[in-house]
Structure 1
Amino acid sequence: MGDNHQVYRRINQGLRQLYPKQLTGRQARHLNTLADMVSGIVRSGQCQMKAMGKKAPDKSKVESRSKRFTRYVQNEQVDAQTYYLPFIVPLLVGLARCGPLVLVMDGSEVGRGCLALVISVVYKKRALPLMWLVVKGNKGHFLKKRI
């Protein structure tokens, strides 16, 4: 079994153990895609869809995987309440065992006249996003009214 597949399998098993309820068929497929994306990020060290697709253990073409990941993040049925929030507390608890938690806040331009305010936890010199807010606006400071 290849290293990519071992990473994927461990991530998928970990996500399923943390998930608070029994998965439906559609939820299981979405969780598999999420595990594919996370393993692609872990193996490539990048979060661009194509880079994740190159390292995901799927046998489909890289372009097909990249498109599947794009559809996943654009899918309105994939909501944070179901596919993201159940994993935040266990992540923070696990990271807290390694040492003090360091949170950072960053405002960035994210294209087409939008700004993102992101709160991340720092782990091994990487910022892991915990929550974010995207608003229309110009480059510069976030106004209190926007938040």
Structure 2
Amino acid sequence: MARQQSRADIASGVIIGLTTIAGLTVWSRLPAEIAIHFSASGTPDTYVSKPVGVVLMPVLMLATLLVLKGAFRYDPPDVPQVAATITVATMAFMGAVHGLVLAWNLSYPVPFDLVLIGSLVWAVVMVAYALKAEYAD
């Protein structure tokens, strides 16, 4: 179990690091105000300064990682791999969202209908995975 958690921690850390590097890499091309939240139609409705927009998601990812680690330590799943998979998948999902936000702010077309569908599919797959792993005989 400890080995799987360790690999999940490393993978999560790498994803957070890559997410941070992505924002810093495109820093000079980003506008001074970055859209970070969008309506379902893809219209931005929340803007923040560039420094906040670049570091906010990596900070939220780190906080989420710590919350997940605490939750899984307090109430561990019956199948240890579930905690590792959910943790890494959540970090990957958050990193992907940050990438899409950066892409939109760099004027790349982002298909918000597909983003919404992808988000819902990700949530269903994660819940189904956790339930299947927990209740498999």
Query: Would you call these one fold, judging by a TM-score over 0.5?
Result: no
- The two structures have a TM-score, normalised by structure 2, of 0.31
- The two structures have a TM-score, normalised by structure 1, of 0.29
Higher normalized helix content (fraction of residues): 2
Q: Which has the higher contact order (CA 8 A, sep 6+)?
A: 2
Higher normalized strand content (fraction of residues): 1
